[in-house]
Structures are given as C-alpha cells and as structure tokens.
Amino acid sequence: MTTSGFSALGLGPQIESTLARLGITSPTPVQLEAIPLLLDSKDLIASAPTGTGKTAAFLLPSLVRLAKEPKARSIGPRILALTPTRELAQQVAQAAKSFSGGMSRVKTVCVTGGESYREQNRLLSGPHEILVATPGRLMDQMQSGHIDFSRLEVLIIDEADRMLDMGFSED
C-alpha cells in the first residue's frame, strides 16, 4: 500500500497508488475537509480559491463509489459533473481520466457545446461511468433522448455560482 497523506482519508490503495503515480502526495485543506464528508454520502457546498484541489476533492470520493456495483444496470453515467464552460468541462474530464487511470472499465465522456453531436452521440451510446457536461449541451442531449440517467448516483455542480451568473438559473 502506498503511504501518503491520503491514506487516512479512506480512499483505498488503488486511488492512493494512482495519486502517488501522479505525484500528488498530500491532501489540501479543502480535500481534508470534503473527502470524508463525501465518502459518507453527505451533500456538500464548498468554496475555495482556484488551484486548491477542489476538483480532486469531489472526484476522488466519487471514484470510490465506482468500485462498488451499480444500483441499476444501464450504459449511462453513475457520476455527472456539470460545469459552466467547455474549458472547465475539459479540465474536469481530464482530471477524471487521470484519477481513474488505475481503475478497470471506467470511461469518462465529455459533452460540451462547440463539439460534434455525432461524436458525442456515439460516446453516449456506449457504457460510461462519468459524464462531464456543460448545461446547454447536456439539455440538448437530454431532450434528444441520448442520455440515460437511470444509474446516476452522484451529481457534482462545479462553479454553480458562475452558472447562475451566466443565466442558467431557470434551467
């Protein structure tokens, strides 16, 4: 087992090993506070400056859930991360891919505006565990019936305040 500052948080040896491989050895303050609550299936609203590890704080405990059998059988996501911009969605999707790198059969799909519907439809039609999306494109894909949320277990709303500022409050 990898010895790291993450071992006391209960993420498990597989995720700890991946973090060590990525050179992430010590949890940040937001991670120390958030991870135990999220592992205990608590709802959480967190605020911390950019660069303090919020993405890992919400993704890592979510990945722990993926080690367990899904509650429902389907091809849709078990984790949905909603972000206000394409750039942030791509960053979160890349982090999810990096953090889940040591896990078998964990696929991340990113759905944003400015990308091909055909390619996104193809990705959504196959099994995936993590869906990272922007609100507008997510709603388009939902309305066209391309997303199956029957096994969704975790909803992450990243930068919710910014989404509200951008006019997504009604959505």
Question: Is the pLDDT reported for residue 89 higher than 90?
Answer: yes
Query: Of the given ranges (9-13, 30-34, 135-139, 167-171), which has the lowest mean pLDDT?
Result: 167-171
Reported as a pLDDT band with limits 50, 70 and 90, residue 2 is very low
**Structure confidence at residue 4 as a pLDDT band (50, 70, 90):** low
Q: Which tokens is 39 given?
A: 């592992």
At residue 64, φ and ψ (nearest 5 deg) are: -60, -40
Q: Considering only 66-75, 116-125, 138-147, which range has the smallest mean pLDDT?
A: 66-75
For the record, the structure tokens of 104 come out as 């078998």
What gap in Å lies between CA 124 and CA 131, rounded to an integer?
9
What average pLDDT score do residues 120-125 get? Answer: 94
CA dihedral 65, 100, 122, 162 (to 10 degrees): 80
